[in-house]
Structure 1
Amino acid sequence: MDIRPLVNADIAAIAALLQTLSREFIVHESSPEGASTFLAENNELGIRGYVARGHAYHVAIVDGELAGFVAVRDNSHLFHLFVAKERQGQGIARRLWEVARAAAVARGGDGAFTVNSSNHAVRVYESFGFVRVGPTQCAKGLYFNPMRLAADDPV
Structure 2
Amino acid sequence: MDIQKASKTDLAAMTNLVSAVSEIDVLPLLTQQGQDEYKARVLPDLATTLDEKRFIAIKATSGSQLLGFAALRDGNYLTHLFVSHASQGTGLGRQLLAVLLNSTDAKEIRLRSSINAVGFYQHHGFEATDEESAFNGIRFVPMSLVRNRPITLP
TM-score (norm 1): 0.88
User: Which has the larger Rg?
Assistant: 2
* Equivalent position of 1:67 in the other structure: 67
Aligned: 1:122 with 2:118:
yes
Cα distance between partner residues in 1 of 2:41 and 2:28: 16
Cα distance between partner residues in 1 of 2:41 and 2:146: 28
Secondary structure class of the residue paired with 1:104: coil
State whether residues 109 and 146 of structure 2, in contact with CA within 8 Å, keep that contact through their aligned partners in structure 1.
Answer: yes
Cα distance between partner residues in 1 of 2:7 and 2:92: 19
Q: Which amino acid aligns with 2:46?
A: I
Quick one: structure 1 residues 125 and 139, their matched pair in 2 at CA, closer, same or farther if it must change by over 3 Å? same
CA drift at 1:61 = 0.8
Cα distance between partner residues in 1 of 2:38 and 2:122: 24
* Equivalent position of 2:87 in the other structure: 87
Cα distance between partner residues in 1 of 2:29 and 2:11: 26
Aligned: 1:19 with 2:15:
no
RMSD: 1.5
* Equivalent position of 1:147 in the other structure: 143
5+ residue gaps, structure 2: 150-154
- How many residues are treated as equivalent by the alignment? 148
Aligned: 1:136 with 2:136:
no
Q: Structure 1 residue runs of 4+, over 6 Å off?
A: none
State whether residues 30 and 137 of structure 2, in contact with CA within 8 Å, keep that contact through their aligned partners in structure 1.
Answer: yes
Cα distance between partner residues in 1 of 2:50 and 2:107: 21
CA drift at 1:55 = 2.4
Q: Which amino acid aligns with 1:122?
A: V
Q: Which amino acid aligns with 1:133?
A: T
Secondary structure class of the residue paired with 2:90: coil
Q: Which amino acid aligns with 1:101?
A: L
Aligned: 1:100 with 2:94:
no
5+ residue gaps, structure 1: none
Cα distance between partner residues in 2 of 1:50 and 1:66: 16
State whether residues 119 and 145 of structure 1, in contact with CA within 8 Å, keep that contact through their aligned partners in structure 2.
Answer: yes
CA drift at 1:104 = 2.6
CA offsets 1:81-122 (integer angstroms, 9 cap, x no match): 0000010000100000111111133xxxx2311111112111
